[in-house]
Amino acid sequence: MKKIELEIVALSHSITQTHSYAVVLGEINGLRRLPIVIGGFEAQAIAVALERMNPSRPLTHDLMKNFMMAFNVELHEIVINDLQEGIFYSKLVCSSANDTVEIDSRTSDALALAVRFGCPIYTYDTILDQAGVLMEDDNKKTTTSVTIETGGKDDLRSMSLEELNNLLTDVLEHEDYIKAIAIRDEIKSRGNR
């Protein structure tokens, strides 16, 4: 089967499931999108890497990357290779000096590692046919976006800059990087007004 390369085009709260997030993968040079529901911790791990934030302590996926690098294991690609009863299955394609192996992985963990390693993400037509969504061609390049709610964007907009900075300090101390991204974006947007 021919592999189809995907990229992360969005990360947001899941509309269908509370306390869950959706990562949306887009077909490179194509119009199909693959939404995948993931947990909050995995969403945070992906968001931290996408936004190039540096947590004060390594997150689990950072630790995994550091471990792999220490033992000269390269992550070449991830492949979303199966879909059963609404659950996506993935594998990590890794190599060392002596061997290349495929390691079973939860898709959310595989995506968090792919972002850290900068490796490609693939799937197959059959999976896109089963779970993909066809987008209309608007002749615009889709850029990666991270949309995170902290109780509503309007709540952040009503806060003073000092309140936002205090809230940002507080959420960073609690290592809530997803909320930190939304707060940081609101602070940045005020610099452009």
Do residues 79 and 140 share a domain? yes
Residue 127 and residue 85 share a domain: yes
Q: For position 106, what pLDDT does the model report?
A: 97
By DSSP bridging, strand 3-13 and strand 145-146 are: parallel
Boundaries of domain holding 183: 153-191
Angle value at C-alpha 44, between 116 and 184, nearest 5 degrees: 100
CB 184 within 8 A of CB 146: no
135 and 111 in a common domain: yes
| One domain, residues 40 and 125 | yes
Using an 8 Å Cβ cutoff, are 138 and 106 in contact?
no
Assign residue 135 the CATH number of its domain.
3.10.690.10
The predicted pLDDT at position 10 comes to 85
Residue among 71, 75, 72, 90 nearest 25 (CA): 90
Of 102, 121, 103, 97, nearest in space to 111 by CA: 121
Instruction: List the pLDDT tens digit at each of the 193 positions of the chain.
Output: 899 999 998 887 755 566 678 888 999 988 898 989 898 889 889 988 988 888 888 889 999 999 999 999 999 999 999 999 889 999 999 999 999 999 999 999 999 999 999 999 999 999 998 888 877 665 544 445 444 444 444 578 888 888 888 887 777 666 666 676 677 777 878 875 5
Domain count along the chain: 2
Q: Domain check: are 33 and 127 in the same one? A: yes
Q: Are 111 and 164 contained in the same domain?
A: no
Q: How far apart are the first and last CA of the chain?
A: 50
Same domain, 18 and 45: yes
User: Rounded to an integer, what is the distance from CA 156 to the centroid of its chain?
Assistant: 23
Q: What is the pLDDT of residue 15?
A: 55
SS3 98: coil
